[in-house]
Structure formats: C-alpha cells, structure tokens
Structure 1
Amino acid sequence: MQIRIATTGMELWKIEHEFTNVPHVHDNWLQVTVPIQGTCHFTHERREYALQEGCALVQHPHEEHHFRTAGGAGVIIIQLQTDIWTGGVAPAPELSLRQYVDPHDIRSRFRGWTGRLLASDPVDPIAQQETEADIVAYLHHALRGNIRPAEADMPTVRQRTGDPHLARVLDYIHTHYRSALTLDELAALALQSRYHFIRSFKASVGMSPYQYVLRVRIEEAKHKLKTSNMTIVDISVYVGFSSTSQLHRAFLNAVGMSPELYRSRMRVGG
C-alpha cells in the first residue's frame, strides 16, 4: 500500500508491505525516511543499513539512495524542497545522517498532516503553507542534533582513529543490537581475526565488544523506560536481552539501580 500527498514544495509518503525502488538522487530535495514498523533495508551512498522502527535516515540533495521493505514493514517518507527546509535562507541547516524519532508520534502526526492537506482548499495556498511550516518545525525539533544517547555518549571509532573498518562495526552494532550478535560477524566486518578484533576494538573504544553492545542496549532500555509504557518484560525483549533477569543485572551494573526504580525516578523528575 502506498499513500502519497504532494504540495508545491513537499511530498509525504507512507509505504507498507513489500516495496523496492532503484538507486536515484534528488537534486533539490531533502528526504527523511523513517521506518514505523518492521525493517527497512536502505542503501545510502552505497552503504547498507537495516533500519529498525524509529531509526530515521536523512538523505541530502545529490546523495544516491534506494530501499526495500518486506511484508509487515512500513516507512514514512518526508521530502522537502531545500528552500522550504531552509525557509529561504542558505545554507541549509545540517542534519546528522541517522537520528531517532518516536515511530508512534510520527505516525500520528502523519495522519494529522495528510488529513489537513486533504481537507484544505487547493486554490487557497495558506493551508498548505501552514502544514509545510508545521512539518519543518517538527523536523527541526525531532531531528536536528537529536542523536540518541547510545550514540551521543559513545564516540565512534571513526572519530577516534579514522579506521573505516571499525567504524563499520559500530554502525552495524547500532543497527543490529537487538539481534544475537557474534564476535565472528563483527570481526569479519573489521577484516580482522576474532582475537585481533577484540584487542583492537577495546583499544579504540575503551571497552570490549560485548560491553559496548550491552551499553547500547541499556541506553535504549533507558529511553523506553522514560518515554513509553512498555513493560519491563517487553523492553528486555525489545532491546535484545534473552531474559528479564539479564536486563536487570546489566541495568543494575550500568546504572546503579533497577529498571523499575529508574522509571519511577524519571517519571517523578519529568
């Protein structure tokens, strides 16, 4: 199923179930692709990403990209002409390649945006312009500088060493942390033996690969505890732990309190 609504300076897409397109670029358009369910297999500038729900990917003008989804998956795509994004002021505000948005929030907003556009008079541009402005404001708030804690608190290997192979490993971990990762697959991405990979990873990042994966999972668990009503059991499964007890042990070691206490304090503090 595909939904497309366009104005003179913007296109909104919702694509669900099986879909694939061919590599292409947009000359004067900024695009934000947000999986809202399932996995979106996205290729951006010849780098592949298995994007999970909420893991938004930004495509600036002239950047080649394409993607595919399978049954049960879905994405929302926002395309804006660069002058709409900048508000007529150059250069365009920069967005980091990968950001996080709440998939439930953007799904709800998408319904509101499309409903307003469908209900507006096509000969009266002010309604469309107001909706465009709302979307730009949302993107500025939700995306600009909004790096997830798991990535903001942990500089990448590329930043530390300039090693593209180890940087690829970190990208892979942040995309697949919910899965049962193995040292062999991570070492293969770094083009190293398992034992050399463990040593080089720890030297570059300051912790072992497993400790890094745990930290990414814990940061995501903290985010879910603060922003969702998911149960502790559901969160433990969602972030990749094999059991709730494993989440409890890792969370207590990393944060110094139980997930339940952390949630209660965040709710009181909020």
Structure 2
Amino acid sequence: MFTSAQAPSAFNMSKALSISPGDGEAERAALNGAAALGDAAGRGWSGVRRIEHRQQIELGPGLQFAFATENIALPTQWTLEHAQHTLIVHLDGPMRRLETRIDGLGRLRAAPAAGDWWLIPAGRRYLGRALGGEIAYAELTVDPAGFAAAAPGAGDGAGLAARMKHRDPFVHGLAARLAHLSGAGDDLAAMLRESLGQALYLHLLREHGGGAAARAVSAEARLNEAARRRVEDYIHTHLDRRITLDELARLSALSTHQLLIAFRHAFGMTPIQYVLAQRLLRVCRRLRDSADDIATIAVENGFSSHSHLSAVFKKRYGLTPRAFRLQG
C-alpha cells in the first residue's frame, strides 16, 4: 500500500508517496513496527523505495489526490500519521502479503484485491508492511477543517471512521477514473477531476462519516437568479479560455461542494457538461457559417487541438467536425 512516514502536522504532496526512513531512523521504525504488528513486521523490510511513477494534483481547497505505481518485490514498510484524513485505494498489482494497523482499530493481515481501501482519520497512526510485485494505488487527502466549512450545521457528524480493507465500488470507480485523468492537461479534464473529487468527498462524508454534513451542504446549495446569471454570463464570455470550478464557486458565493449541487439544480447538468455543450454549439455555428480552419475553431473554443475537438465532437454527434461541415 501505500504511503510514507509523515510528521503529525503536515503532509507534503510534492514528495514521493512512499519514502523509507533515512539513516538512523530504520532501527526506530523497525522497533515501532515490531511493537505494532508483531516481531515479524520489524524484520527485513526494505530501506529502498522503488517508485515507478507518481502524479499529484489539487482537486480543490484542502483536497489533494495522488496516483502512483511502486515495486514492492522486497519487503516494504510504510508509516503514516498527519493532520489530514487519508484514503488509500489499491488499484492493481500483486500483493502476496500485507499487514496493516491503525491506532484504535486494530491489526489486519490480509492481501488486498483491486478496489480495497484504507481510511486513516486525521491524527491516527497507520503502519503497514507489504510484499509483492509492481502495484498501483491512489491516495486522497482531506483537510478535516474543510468538512466543518462545507457543512457548518453538521456539528460532530463531519468526522470520518477508520477503515481497513474496506470495499465500496463507488469509491473504487472514482479513484480509478481520477488516476486515469491525473496526467491530462486541458481544462475540461481539470473540471472533471475536481467534480469527481468533490463527489468522492461528499460520498465519504455521507456514507463513511456523518450524513448530517452532506444534508447540510445540500440544504444550502442553491443559486439565486443573480448568481445564476453571473455564472452563465461568465461561462459564455470565457468559452475560449480555461474555466475552473473555483472561479464559478466564487461567482456564486458558494463552496465548491455546494456549487456542484446548486449548478445541477439550476441547469439540469454538471458544470463540465454545460461548458462542453456550449463549446460544441459554438463550434457547430462556426463550422456552418464560416470557412475558418478547424484547428483554429478548436483552439478559439477552448479545445487544445484539432484532434481533441474531433474526438469530443465525434463522441457527442457521431461524426467528425469535417464531416459535419461537408453535410452543411
């Protein structure tokens, strides 16, 4: 699995997800592991990390996502303890042995299947020891203060419960999709990542924390007429530029969590669906009414290239922009 030893007060997403203790720390880590997981856990773990790939992205204030692949052919040990809630999802790869412990929850010895996940609440200590092959995993970190800010009426219902080797197809699906999108650079992919991150955030809050928090978010998430006009005008004016959920949330005076709910109430679709639909409508008008080069039309309507527009256009309409133009 999955992640590195961290100071209790901070988590630096710019570093590798799994970092072995430095010289002089290995003996202390082994002793800690032996105390928590039994004598076997403190022997033979690897001091060399083999991170094959990693990608970290911001999904919004207090919400960060990372995807990584790592080779654990040698016995490997991880520790984690910091001020954020941490969700770790095993996505792929063989793990012949895994021992995990979360303070207050106990110990588990069981190799994970794809989709199994661990949830470590803020301030809890996690210890893990693994052996296998090349694995892929995702990690979401959440600032606990964000729960209270997103749902001020939720009270103590905004906490998250510790989980080990838990299964939830919704969490697995969102984590896998976020991992797939982690390297995409266009604004539609960025908006989709943020939307999926917020959906995962609210799902955890409702299903694995306090449902009152999610209900409080929903109760306050509405766009009044003035806010709706501001958001709509901004989108139509900036279809050729990068549009973010943070910008739309500021215009509507809502949090990002609330915006996603309020936008669907107001427009009947998500922000990314609306932006994409408006861009494609404008592209259709340009294809019909002008002889402009398709690559130029693509860039001037927020698509990264001719090929990007063609892929999205064909998926939506069943034909390429050129074929659409030829058909008149």
Q: What TM-score, normalized to structure 2?
A: 0.31
Q: What TM-score, normalized to structure 1?
A: 0.38
Larger Rg: 2
